[in-house]
Amino acid sequence: MSVGGLNIEKTYLITGAAGFIGYFLAKSLLEGGRRVIGVDNINDYYEVGLKYARLKNLEIFDNFIFIKGDISDKTTVMQVFQKYKPAVVVNLAAQAGVRYSIENPDAYIQSNIIGFYNILEASRYYPVEHLVYASSSSVYGANKKVPFEETDFVDHPVSLYAATKKSNELVAHTYSHLFNIPATGLRFFTVYGPMGRPDMAYFSFTNQYFKGEPIRIFNNGDFENDLYSDFTYIDDVIKGILKLLDKPPAKAGTAAAHKIFNIGNNNPVKLMDFIFTLENALSNALGKKVEFEKIFEPFKPGDVPVTYASIDLLHQEIGFKPGTPIKEGMQRFADWYVRHYRAK
């Protein structure tokens, strides 16, 4: 039996289920009647209370099972696969953040390298119909050709985080080739929205405003050559993933059953324009003028000047293009933030 193209009798395993994308994906699957097993270690990289708030919204569903565990623990991963025999696995558990990878590289090796290897090993011994995993736009490094296409050369990452994500793509391809695991990698471009990650710029800028603190902008105050980013609203990301879940790649001759897709908005926004949009959204949510106090600083190591997604391949595959305007998406975030934190 299927609903909306997805089989409701299958078991879907989502790692990082208490995370931003993992939560919204699990919620969409559960609302469609699917059985979801969620795994998350609830680490304290950012506000743990937000992770528990997301989980609370999932635990109302009878067909949701949550397991507190770390994918870097191979025994835990193998036991989950053995017990629940997931048909579709979505690996979203990872240590995120470009700048934090410079401060704490161990966390990235444990989660992004060892953890993902454990997921691949489990998918090998307990075969799955489709393994979907999170990569990142960070793999494009400082590529100057835009928009970024999946066929671009990406062998020069400029952060450890990006290097771990490129590694994921390579190892997934190898496992797909050797053990015929249908796998899809998703290069996400700055996902944002309500209940998002507090370490992301839009969220941290908002937090700083309500604390009465200035925001730090790492563009040298150069408005002419400002940073550009492709912001992707969370609802668009979830729609894209859902459409891909039941489209596992097929092995074609000697080619592995492995594909990679960009999931971006295909409409990059200047950093300063993004900040003005956020100020306006908060002004609307609060009913008063909001203007951040700004401090301009040099670029940080690992920062990428431009992220800009080509989404032609995604559209060819599933007939879908993300398209929520930054003004609309940021207003939804601002409205949620003011309600959730009772900000004034």
To the query of whether residue 308 is one of the catalytic residues in this protein, the response is no
94-103, 209-218, 234-243, range with greatest mean pLDDT: 234-243
Would residue 279 count as lying in a domain? yes
CA nearest to 330, candidates 206, 199, 147: 206
Quickly tell me which residue has 């293009």 as its tokens. Answer: 321
Q: Decide: 140 and 307 in contact? Cβ < 8 Å.
A: yes
Residues 182 and 284 in one domain: no
Q: How far, in Å, CA of 11 to CA of 262, rounded?
A: 26
Token pair for 83: 């017990």
Would residue 336 count as lying in a domain? yes
> Which of 5-9, 18-22, 249-253 comes out lowest in average pLDDT?
5-9
CA-to-CA separations, 21 to 178, 241, 282, in angstroms, rounded: 29, 10, 23
Better-scored residue on pLDDT, 221 or 130: 130
Residues 213 and 258 in one domain: no
Total of domains in the chain: 2
Q: How far, in Å, CA of 338 to CA of 47, rounded?
A: 17
Residues 25 and 147 in one domain: yes
Peptide bond into 147 cis (omega under 30): yes
Residues 209 and 336 in one domain: yes
Q: The CATH number of the domain where 284 resides is what?
A: 3.90.25.10
Is residue 34 very low, low, confident or very high in pLDDT (cuts 50, 70, 90)? Answer: very high
Quickly tell me which residue has 């993004």 as its tokens. Answer: 274
Token pair for 327: 């003004």
- Do strands 269-270 and 232-233 pair parallel, antiparallel, or not at all (unpaired)? unpaired
User: Mean pLDDT throughout 240-258?
Assistant: 94
Residues 59 and 206 in one domain: no
Would residue 180 count as lying in a domain? yes
Q: Quick count: other Cβ atoms within 10 Å of Cβ 52?
A: 12
pLDDT tens readout for residues 182-195: 999 999 999 999 99
Residues 165 and 216 in one domain: no
- SS3 of 161, please? helix
pTM, entire model = 0.94
Would residue 104 count as lying in a domain? yes
Residues 209 and 185 in one domain: no
- SS3 of 142, please? coil
pLDDT tens readout for residues 283-296: 999 999 999 999 98
Instruction: Point out the catalytic residue in the list 46, 161, 192, 209.
Output: 161
Is residue 297 very low, low, confident or very high in pLDDT (cuts 50, 70, 90)? Answer: confident
Would residue 122 count as lying in a domain? yes
Q: How far, in Å, CA of 210 to CA of 212, rounded?
A: 5
Residues 119 and 219 in one domain: no
- Please state, rounded to an integer, the average pLDDT across all residues of the chain: 92
Would residue 292 count as lying in a domain? yes
Q: How far, in Å, CA of 254 to CA of 251, rounded?
A: 7
Would residue 196 count as lying in a domain? no
- SS3 of 168, please? helix
> Which of 1-10, 23-32, 335-344 comes out lowest in average pLDDT?
1-10
> In which domain, by residue range, is 215 found?
201-227+268-307+324-340
What pLDDT shows up at residue 1? 39
> Which of 54-63, 98-107, 288-297 comes out lowest in average pLDDT?
98-107
Q: The CATH number of the domain where 76 resides is what?
A: 3.40.50.720
User: Mean pLDDT throughout 198-225?
Assistant: 86
Would residue 97 count as lying in a domain? yes
Residues 214 and 105 in one domain: no
Residues 223 and 252 in one domain: no
pLDDT of residue 66 exceeding 60: yes
pLDDT of residue 164 exceeding 90: yes
Residues 41 and 93 in one domain: yes
